[in-house]
Amino acid sequence: MKAYLTRRYWFSASHRLHCEGMSEDENQAVYGKCNNPHGHGHNYALEVTVAGQVDPRTGMVCNLADLDRFVQEKILERFGHQNLNTLSDFQGVVPTTENLCVAVYGILEREFRHAGVDKIRVEETMLNSFEYAGGREIRY
Amino acid sequence: MVYLTRKAEFSASHYYHNPEFTPEENQRIFGKCNNPHGHGHNYTLEVTVKGAVDSRSGFVVDLKQLKDIMNREVLDAMDHRFLNREVPEFKDSIPTTENLAISIWRRLQPKLSVAQLHRVRVYETPDLFVDYYGEA
């Protein structure tokens, strides 16, 4: 029996949307206020969905304590209260929320061993959210 | 094909324990959830059905019918109950959110004749939920 478990977390970070390959005018036209050279911040809500067979002995897809510990150590401590532009994940990559989803997905896919990552969803503000499922179509 | 979701809320208690594990294993794996006296949650259930829109009624499903089935099959059995002791399927399986979603799917699926069940989502808290789509 395959089930999908989603856990919701929060972190705050700053970023500046700026593409080195564009002129100043282009950056301004594309990114608007987000191109402010000093950056600006968000309270991000992160939803991590893992999927797998429910273990008949524990009734779980994976132990929530393992997922919480992993996300705390590998994601929240990495991105929380940071300027995203300064991190190695975003050298040559614009720290949009799209790219943030891809980066978080990659960390879970490479390093989380207790269940398969199915999807990452990030709310940048209450008005916009982004989802990434490793290139697969998202199941609703 | 149109998808329709109906929400319901219920409150129940549970605890996690596998009699095949030693007391130490139960404590290590389930932590605070292993307290044998149980603890409770306000659960939110979302049931999503899908189907073609009936040309005469404009409905995928009669919402009242869906609500009645959810009340009868799920809420009457689980609301304000100790899941381990009062819901038969949890005599032998642990009432985790995963198993709760599967159990609710199995209770609803045979009773839904009009529309097709697409997804059962159970929120244990606002920060944790499980989706079950049946076995493909």
Beta carbons of B99 and B93 less than 8 angstroms apart: yes
Tell me if A47 is assigned to some domain.
yes
Tell me if A71 is assigned to some domain.
yes
Tally of domains within chain B: 1
Residue whose tokens read 């304000």: B80
At residue B40, the 3 state secondary structure works out as: strand
**Tokens matching residue A28:** 């301004």
Type and span of the H or E element at A50: strand A40-53
Type and span of the H or E element at B6: strand B2-14
Tell me if A138 is assigned to some domain.
no
Cα separation, B71 vs B27, whole angstroms: 35
Q: Which of B29, B102, B130 sits opposite A63 (nearest CB)?
A: B29
Tally of domains within chain A: 1
Give mean pLDDT, residues B121-135: 97
Q: What is the mean pLDDT of chain B?
A: 96
Q: Which of A7, A54, A59 sits opposite B128 (nearest CB)?
A: A7
Tell me if A30 is assigned to some domain.
yes
Could you give phi then psi for residue A13, rounded to 5 degrees?
-155, 165
Q: Determine, for residues A58 and B3 on separate chains, whether the beta-carbon distance falls below 8 Å.
A: no
Tell me the CATH number at B96.
3.30.479.10
Q: Which domain holds residue B32?
A: 2-132
Q: Which domain holds residue A56?
A: 2-132
State pLDDT tens for residues A120-133.
999 999 999 999 99
Beta carbons of A87 and A25 less than 8 angstroms apart: no
Could you give phi then psi for residue B77, rounded to 5 degrees?
-85, -30
Tell me if A99 is assigned to some domain.
yes
Cα separation, A76 vs A102, whole angstroms: 15
Tell me if A140 is assigned to some domain.
no
State pLDDT tens for residues B118-127.
999 999 999 9
pLDDT at A14 over 90: yes
List CB contacts (< 8 A) between B93 and chain A: 56, 59
Tell me the CATH number at A112.
3.30.479.10
Could you give phi then psi for residue A28, rounded to 5 degrees?
-65, -40
Q: Is B80 designated active site?
A: yes
Q: Does A133 touch chain B (CB under 8 A)?
A: no
Q: Determine, for residues B102 and A139 on separate chains, whether the beta-carbon distance falls below 8 Å.
A: no
Tell me if A137 is assigned to some domain.
no
ipTM of this predicted complex? 0.92
List CB contacts (< 8 A) between B98 and chain A: 3, 5, 54, 59-61
Q: Is A38 designated active site?
A: no
Tell me if A13 is assigned to some domain.
yes
